[in-house]
Structure 1
Amino acid sequence: MLLAHAITLAEARSYVAALADLARTFDASVEYERVLLQLDWIHGDEFPGLATTGLTDDRDVLYAVAESAIEDLADHGVDALQVELVLDMLDAARARDVP
């Protein structure tokens, strides 16, 4: 994995983890965790750590950055179908994260 790919993956994982931490419901948190598991599965044993300290508490911003980073994974060789499936999972998590 090249450095640019690792940075993009770290960003995606960190922002999804922050969404899981800030989820309004347990079910939404579980769905965000599933997104993380899917990202990890796609990358096998090569994935960077999470860094959620210092990130905004604005869930709309977190979602937008996570979505963008996941989309950018296709530029680093991740199969486009896998990217779309992860984005769909992210959308499903957000749908459960409604007050």
Structure 2
Amino acid sequence: MLLPHAQTLAQARSYVAALADRALTLDASSAYERALLALDRVHGDECPALDTEDLTDDRDILLAVASNAIEELESYGIDPLSVELILAMLVDAHDLDIG
């Protein structure tokens, strides 16, 4: 994995983890965690660390950045179907989060 790919993956992982941490319900938090696990599964053992310290509390911004980073993973050779499935999981989690 090259550095730009690792940076994009780290951003995606961090923002999805932040969404899980800031979710309003346990169900939504669990759904975000499942999306994060799916993202990790696509990359095997090559998963950079999470950094959620200075991220915004605005869940809409977190969702937008996470979605963009996940979409960008296609340009690094990640299967487009896998990307779409992870994005669908993220949307489902967000729908649970907003009620």
Give the TM interval when normalised to the shorter protein: over 0.9
Gaps of 5+ in 2: none
Name the TM-score, length of structure 2 as normaliser: 0.98
Percent of pairs identical after alignment? 63
Distance 2:8 2:15 in 1: 11
Are 2:59 and 1:65 equivalent residues in the alignment?
no
Name the TM-score, length of structure 1 as normaliser: 0.98
Distance 2:38 2:18 in 1: 16
CA deviation after TM superposition for structure 1 residue 98, in Å: 1.5
| Amino acid in structure 2 at the alignment position of 1:48 | P
| Amino acid in structure 1 at the alignment position of 2:21 | D
Match of 1:95 in 2: 95
Q: CA RMSD in A?
A: 0.6
CA deviation after TM superposition for structure 1 residue 4, in Å: 0.4
Equivalent residue runs for 1:1-99 within 5 Å: 1-99=1-99
Gaps of 5+ in 1: none
Query: For this pair of structures, how many residues does the alignment match?
Result: 99
